[in-house]
């Protein structure tokens, strides 16, 4: 391990994506201000659709991004919060109930902990691991469900509905080991849509109902929130990389050129460029005669794949069973959301209001450099870690075996009242 220790005010988010590795270094100035003091980026090698397929290349990519972040921030990085995603992520709802054996029949924090632990006692396949435990509602003695902490209420029976977020053991451990091999400790492994939601959604949206679609390079992540609670999440194995691959195959050009023209000339809806159908000239694969490409042809290719992404996202949103209750509509984010016309295409397919989500919640330093949706997960990881350390999210949860106990920071030395802590848990999830 590194001889130096990371300052207690420093929080580092590590977004290990299929196309890029991004490190966000932030310093906690006070309770309301977190400054971005460094950014590190590197091209991602060794991952496919969010899964590690070449550990050696993945480790080198992560090391490069961390080194760049250290140079940019002047901070010696020893601890990071890591995001995980992929189509292997599953969401399952389970029920649990316990008896209250306290002499005064008052529900205590220990009872809440006990029922959440009991919710994990279901038979999982040996290749799956619980990543997050997200309480949905509590019921005391068959009364009306409550969406806040039951601590302090009187009763003899406590029931709960809980969402268990699970992923493949091998995928979680592969990622954790790759990060640990870079001479840093893993503070947290956080589901990427949960992290991104911290950065691009506000509390009101989560309460009235909203879905977030995070379009990355290898995967598209869908998360649905209602009453301030994560109700459903799923990963889709189609994202920005497949759009680029379609352009390569459909036009016979190099991958680097395909990615470039996708960003510079690409549209997700052909109807938006019918009056501006200029010709793009690029080298073909054999690098002989230049390749002449119409923007309308490029748009047809992009629209077909983006339509797949939003149609599959619509299926997952429908699977949440609260599609008609999403009064704040849909927020799209991630690098894939930056293709022009994506918002309009999403609205057409999903049949509801769609907005573009950019990171927010950090207050100073290099904030202008991280305003793009491509930094949503990295910023969200910082915010998730800060809220966890300040008591707004409970530290105890299921994670990878290599996750180590974190050092206390200035934000967690003051004990929190039990009721405030659990109430904040529901508000922030």
Least confident of 41-50, 64-73, 203-212, 290-299: 290-299
The answer on pLDDT for 421 being more than 50 is no
Q: Specify which residues 384 forms β-bridges with.
A: none
pLDDT of residue 378: 96
The answer on pLDDT for 401 being more than 60 is no
> Mind listing the pLDDT tens digit for each residue in 57-113?
999 999 999 999 999 999 999 999 999 988 888 888 899 999 999 888 999 999 999
Token code pair at residue 204 = 């009101």
What values do phi and psi take at 137, rounded to 5? Answer: -165, 155
In angstroms and rounded to an integer, the radius of gyration of the C-alpha atoms of the chain is 22
pLDDT of residue 88: 86
- How far is CA 368 from its chain centroid? 21
How far apart CA 36 and CA 363 sit, in angstroms, is: 8
The answer on pLDDT for 3 being more than 60 is no
Other residues' Cβ atoms within 10 Å of the Cβ of residue 1: 9
Q: Which residue has the higher pLDDT, 423 or 188?
A: 188
The HSE-up count of residue 380 (CA atoms within 13 Å, CB side) is 32
Least confident of 216-230, 275-289, 303-317, 333-347: 275-289
How far apart CA 220 and CA 233 sit, in angstroms, is: 11
128-140: strand order across its sheet: 90-99, 157-168, 128-140
pLDDT of residue 20: 93
Question: Do residues 172 and 129 lie in contact, with contact meaning Cβ atoms separated by under 8 Å?
Answer: yes
Mean pLDDT score across all residues of the chain: 86
pLDDT of residue 294: 84
Burial 187-212 (b: 16+ CB within 10 A, else e): bbbbbbbbbbbbbbbeeebbbbbbbb
Give the CA angle between residues 343, 347, 351 to the nearest 5°.
165
Mean pLDDT, residues 190-205 = 95
Q: What are the structural domain ranges in the chain?
A: 90-166
> Mind listing the pLDDT tens digit for each residue in 355-399?
999 999 898 889 999 999 999 999 999 999 999 888 766 544 433
pLDDT of residue 85: 87
The answer on pLDDT for 403 being more than 90 is no
Mean pLDDT, residues 253-265 = 89
How far apart CA 135 and CA 242 sit, in angstroms, is: 35
Mean pLDDT, residues 168-194 = 93
Which residue reads 């609260």 in tokens?
A: 322
The answer on pLDDT for 288 being more than 80 is no
Burial 288-313 (b: 16+ CB within 10 A, else e): eeebebebebbbebbbebbbbbbebb
The structure's pTM equals 0.84
pLDDT of residue 292: 76
pLDDT of residue 281: 65
The pLDDT > 90 percentage for the chain reads: 66
pLDDT of residue 263: 92
33-43: strand order across its sheet: 185-191, 79-84, 10-16, 20-30, 33-43, 364-365
Strands 10-16 and 79-84: parallel
The answer on pLDDT for 207 being more than 80 is yes
Q: From start to end of 56-121, where are the E strands? A: 79-84, 90-99
Just give the CATH number of 90-166. Answer: 3.30.1490.110
């Amino acid at each position: 391990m590194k001889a130096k220790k990371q300052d207690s005010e420093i929080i580092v988010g590590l977004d290990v994506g299929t196309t890029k590795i991004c490190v966000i270094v932030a310093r906690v100035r006070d309770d309301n201000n977190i400054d971005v003091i460094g950014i590190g980026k590197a091209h991602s090698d060794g991952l496919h659709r969010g899964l590690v397929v070449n550990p050696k290349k993945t480790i080198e990519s992560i090391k490069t991004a961390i080194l760049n972040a250290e140079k940019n921030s002047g901070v010696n990085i020893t601890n990071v919060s890591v995001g995980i995603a992929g189509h292997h992520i599953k969401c399952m709802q389970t029920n649990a109930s316990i008896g209250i054996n306290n002499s005064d029949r008052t529900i205590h924090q220990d009872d809440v902990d006990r029922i959440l632990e009991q919710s994990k006692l279901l038979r999982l396949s040996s290749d799956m691991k619980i990543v997050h435990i997200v309480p949905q509602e509590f019921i005391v003695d068959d009364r009306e469900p409550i969406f806040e902490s039951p601590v302090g209420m009187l009763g003899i029976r406590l029931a709960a509905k809980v969402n268990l977020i699970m992923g493949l053991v091998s995928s979680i451990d592969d990622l954790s080991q790759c990060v640990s091999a870079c001479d840093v400790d893993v503070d947290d492994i956080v589901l990427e849509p949960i992290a991104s939601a911290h950065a691009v959604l506000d509390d009101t949206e989560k309460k009235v109902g909203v879905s977030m679609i995070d379009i990355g390079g290898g995967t598209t992540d869908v998360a649905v929130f209602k009453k301030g609670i994560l109700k459903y999440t799923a990963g889709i194995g189609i994202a920005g990389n497949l759009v680029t691959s379609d352009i390569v195959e459909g036009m016979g050009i190099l991958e680097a050129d395909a990615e470039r023209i996708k960003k510079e000339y690409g549209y997700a809806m052909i109807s938006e460029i019918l009056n501006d159908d200029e010709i793009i000239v690029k080298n073909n694969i054999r690098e002989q005669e230049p390749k002449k490409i119409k923007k309308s042809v490029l748009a047809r290719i992009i629209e077909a794949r983006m339509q797949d992404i939003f149609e599959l996202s619509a299926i997952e949103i429908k699977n949440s069973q609260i599609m008609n209750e999403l009064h704040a509509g849909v927020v799209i984010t991630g690098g894939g959301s930056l293709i022009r016309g994506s918002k309009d295409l999403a609205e057409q397919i999903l049949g509801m209001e769609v907005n573009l989500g950019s990171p927010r919640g950090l207050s100073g330093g290099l904030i202008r450099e991280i305003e793009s949706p491509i930094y949503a997960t990295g910023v969200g990881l910082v915010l998730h870690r800060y809220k966890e350390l300040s008591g707004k999210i409970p530290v105890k949860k299921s994670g990878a075996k290599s996750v180590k106990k974190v050092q206390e920071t200035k934000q967690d030395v003051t004990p929190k009242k039990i009721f405030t802590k659990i109430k904040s848990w529901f508000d922030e999830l």
